[in-house]
Structure 1
Amino acid sequence: MPTAADPTAAVTEIDGHRLRLTHLDRVLYPETGWTKAAALRYYALVAPRLLPHLAGRPASFLRFPAGVDGQRFWAKHLPGGSPDWLTTLHVTHSDGELEQVVVADLATLLWATNLGALELHVPQWRQTPEEHDRLVIDLDPGPGVTAVECCAVALLARELLHADGLTAWPKTSGAKGMHLLVPLRPTPARAASDYARRLAGRLRAEHPGLVVDRMEKRLRAGRVFVDWSQNSSAKTTAAPYSLRAGQAPGVSTPLEWAELAAVRRAEQLVFTPEQVAERGTDPWAGVLDVANWGVLPG
Structure 2
Amino acid sequence: MTPITEVEGRRLSLSNLDKVLYPATGTTKGEVLHYYAATAAAAILPHLRDRPVSFLRYPDGPGGQLFVTKNPPPGTPDWVETTPVPHSDDPGARQVMVQDLPALMWAANLVVEFHTPQWRAQAPETADRMVLDLDPGSPATVVECCAVALWLRERLAADGLSSYGKTSGSKGLHLLVPLEPVSSAVVSSYAKRLAMEAESALPALALHRMKRALRPGKVFVDFSQNSASKTTATPYTLRARAEPAVSAPVTWEEIEGCRSPEELVFRAEDMAARLERYGDLLGPLLDPEEARALPADLP
Deviation at 1:211, TM superposition (A): 0.6
Match of 2:62 in 1: 68
- Secondary structure class of the residue paired with 1:180: strand
Match of 1:12 in 2: 5
Count of paired positions? 290
After the TM superposition, which residues 70-89 of structure 1 pair with which residues of structure 2 at under 5 Å, given as runs?
Answer: 70-89=64-83
Deviation at 1:129, TM superposition (A): 2.8
Residue identity in the other structure for 2:23: P
- Secondary structure class of the residue paired with 1:250: coil
Match of 1:201 in 2: 196
- Secondary structure class of the residue paired with 2:217: coil
Q: Select between 146-155 and 128-137 the one with higher mean Cα deviation.
A: 128-137
- Secondary structure class of the residue paired with 2:283: coil
Higher strand share: 1
Provide Cα deviations, 1:147-195, integer angstroms capped at 9, x if missing partner.
0000000010000000001111100000000000001111011110000
Given candidates 280, 294, 297, the residue that maps to 1:296 is 294
Match of 1:231 in 2: 226
Deviation at 1:144, TM superposition (A): 1.7
Cα distance in 2, alignment partners of residues 217 and 187 from structure 1:
31
Cα distance in 1, alignment partners of residues 118 and 206 from structure 2:
23
Deviation at 1:80, TM superposition (A): 2.1
Cα distance in 2, alignment partners of residues 68 and 213 from structure 1:
29
Provide Cα deviations, 1:236-256, integer angstroms capped at 9, x if missing partner.
000000001111110000011
Deviation at 1:94, TM superposition (A): 3.3
Cα distance in 2, alignment partners of residues 243 and 93 from structure 1:
28
Provide Cα deviations, 1:183-226, integer angstroms capped at 9, x if missing partner.
11110111100000001011111111111100001111221100
- Secondary structure class of the residue paired with 1:85: coil
Cα distance in 1, alignment partners of residues 130 and 295 from structure 2:
13
Cα distance in 2, alignment partners of residues 147 and 94 from structure 1:
36
Match of 2:22 in 1: 29
Match of 2:86 in 1: 92
Match of 1:106 in 2: 101
Residue identity in the other structure for 1:236: T
Q: Tell me if structure 1 keeps the 8 A contact 2:145–2:172.
A: yes
Q: Tell me if structure 1 keeps the 8 A contact 2:207–2:221.
A: yes
After the TM superposition, which residues 50-199 of structure 1 pair with which residues of structure 2 at under 5 Å, given as runs?
Answer: 50-96=44-90, 97-117=92-112, 119-127=113-121, 128-199=123-194
Match of 1:6 in 2: none
1:240 partnered with 2:238 = no
Q: Tell me if structure 1 keeps the 8 A contact 2:207–2:220.
A: yes
Cα distance in 1, alignment partners of residues 283 and 191 from structure 2:
24
Give unpaired runs (5+ residues) of structure 1.
4-8
Cα distance in 2, alignment partners of residues 147 and 181 from structure 1:
16
Given candidates 256, 261, 269, the residue that maps to 2:264 is 269
Residue identity in the other structure for 1:286: P
* TM-score, normalised via structure 1 length: 0.95
* TM-score, normalised via structure 2 length: 0.95
- Secondary structure class of the residue paired with 2:254: helix
- Secondary structure class of the residue paired with 1:81: coil
Deviation at 1:41, TM superposition (A): 0.5
Cα distance in 1, alignment partners of residues 40 and 261 from structure 2:
24
Deviation at 1:102, TM superposition (A): 0.3
Point out 4+ residue stretches in structure 1 off by more than 2 angstroms: none
- Secondary structure class of the residue paired with 2:85: strand
1:215 partnered with 2:213 = no
Could you tell me the percent identity over the aligned residues? 52
Match of 1:48 in 2: 42
Residue identity in the other structure for 1:196: A
